[in-house]
């Protein structure tokens, strides 16, 4: 599974990344994390609000930081 975090690298982006990783670990998933900070790449991915999270190239979260419990439900 590929988790992609889109954003500037701000505190919210880092928190989203940490929550997604924690949720994936709890579910026992094999995953890799990619962090995209380039504005043009973010726009090309169709992201309008950051931070955003994509799972296997599909945007599942945009413009907010869900808890790791919420992300666990999304990933599970």
Residues marked as catalytic:
10, 13
Nearest-angstrom CA–CA distance, 57 and 3: 8
């Amino acid at each position: 599974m590929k988790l992609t975090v889109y954003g500037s690298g701000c505190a919210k982006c880092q928190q989203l990344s940490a929550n997604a990783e924690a949720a994936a670990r709890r579910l026992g998933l094999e995953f890799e994390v990619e962090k995209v900070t380039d504005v043009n790449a973010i726009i090309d991915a169709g992201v309008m609000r950051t931070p955003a999270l994509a799972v296997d190239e599909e945007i599942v979260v945009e413009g907010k930081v869900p808890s790791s419990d919420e992300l666990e439900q999304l990933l599970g």
